[in-house]
Amino acid sequence: MGANVTIRDVARRAGVAVGTVSHHLNGSAPVAAKTAQRIQRAIESLGFRVDLGARGLRSRRTHSIGLVLPNISNPFYAEIACAIERALWEKGFQTLLCDSSQDAERERMHLDALESRRVDGILMIRTSERGAGRRHIDRLSVPIVFVDRGVEGKHSVTSDNRMGGALAARHLVDLGHRRVGILAGESGVGNVRQRLDGFMAEMERGGAPVRERNVISGPQAIEHGYAVADLMQRRPRPTAVFATNDVVAIGAWRKLLELGLRIPQDVSLVGFDDIEMSSLLFPPLTTVRQEKAALGREATGLLLRLLAGERHPAHPTLVIPPELVVRGSTGPPT
């Protein structure tokens, strides 16, 4: 039945106007959630398939969006990617996923390839400030929205990373910690620097400034968490450790247990991101939750509004507040 089904059939089955179905498929205007669900049920029951080729010729659109990530194996990026893909699928867009593997040249090549494939727009988490340069980005002919790692003067959706760092520090100060170590994953990246700035400023306000020797920088990888062993050799030894993302915190968690140290009795541990795995550790990880679904959903919505011709401020950055999630990995120093 699907081959002969038209958009009029879908509208009739859903009990809505043809234009409403068109808006739902094209993302060209808001459609109420319940209405969108009825349309989607009608599409599925009738087996309706959009003729992307014909639709592209009429609208000069491909109804595809490029998504460029620094490392798809990182659970944080994977969770954002799932939210974006889901939001785009619901609006009738396909997602073309590109993994830059933390490589600046590969990132630039992905952008060029997506543009040559005539995607309608691009959503991107940059590898770092050393990735695709500003000049390269400025000459792209398709709209682009940056996620997680904002770009000044460009459409961006980020978390309030400075606030998140401050939340983690205030929690440790309130517990009574005065000797704290930091495992900084990719400290040269803007949002990580903001977390560090917020954390260290709040520790200083709490009368417990972090010593420079107690900050160890490295990659955003589980292996960097193993450097917690070096922190544990400092004298006096830190009673708590802040990792600038959960992946690094998970590596630290494993190493601390290997060293025979108890969490949180011997050392408290705080992460950042609240990836799904962090709640499955024992004890579960105290962390700063980034609203990953909101980041993906808001970035997708912004891009689709840009494609629909909606005007936005010259320097639009949407900042989503994070939330401290207190679990079993933190407690007062003993």
Length of the chain: 334
Domains defined for the chain, CATH in brackets: 2-49 (1.10.260.40), 59-158+292-319 (3.40.50.2300), 161-290 (3.40.50.2300)
273 forms beta bridges with 289
Identify which of 95, 64, 92, 60 has the alpha carbon closest to the alpha carbon of residue 80.
Answer: 95
- State how far the Cα of 245 lies from the Cα of 159, in Å rounded to an integer: 13
Name the more confident of 145 and 40.
145
The number of helices, as runs of H, and strands, as runs of E, in the chain is: 13, 12
Listed residue (256, 253, 269, 288) closest to 172, CA to CA: 269
- Tens of pLDDT, residue by residue over 282-317, are 999 999 999 999 999 999 999 998 888 877 655 578
pLDDT (tens digit, 9 = 90+) per residue, 111-136?
999 988 889 999 999 986 665 566 77
Mean pLDDT of 143-162: 92
Q: What is the mean pLDDT of residues 222-228?
A: 97
Tens-place pLDDT, residues 5-26 = 888 999 999 999 988 988 887 6
> How crowded is residue 319: how many other Cβ atoms within 10 Å of its Cβ?
14
Q: What rounded mean pLDDT belongs to the chain?
A: 90
Residue 91: per-residue pLDDT? 87
Cα 49 from chain centroid (whole Å): 31
* E strand segments, 200-282: 215-218, 240-243, 268-273
Residues contacting 244, CB < 8 A, separation 6+: 165, 182, 183, 184, 185, 186, 187, 192, 195, 196, 220, 272
Q: How does strand 64-69 pair with strand 94-99? A: parallel
* Residue 275 pLDDT exceeds 90: yes
Checking if the pLDDT of 173 tops 90, the result is: yes
User: What pLDDT score does 198 carry?
Assistant: 98
Reduce the secondary structure of 270-315 to three states and give it as a string: EEEECCHHHHCCCCCCEEEECCHHHHHHHHHHHHHHHHCCCCCCCC
pLDDT category, 40, cuts 50, 70, 90?
confident
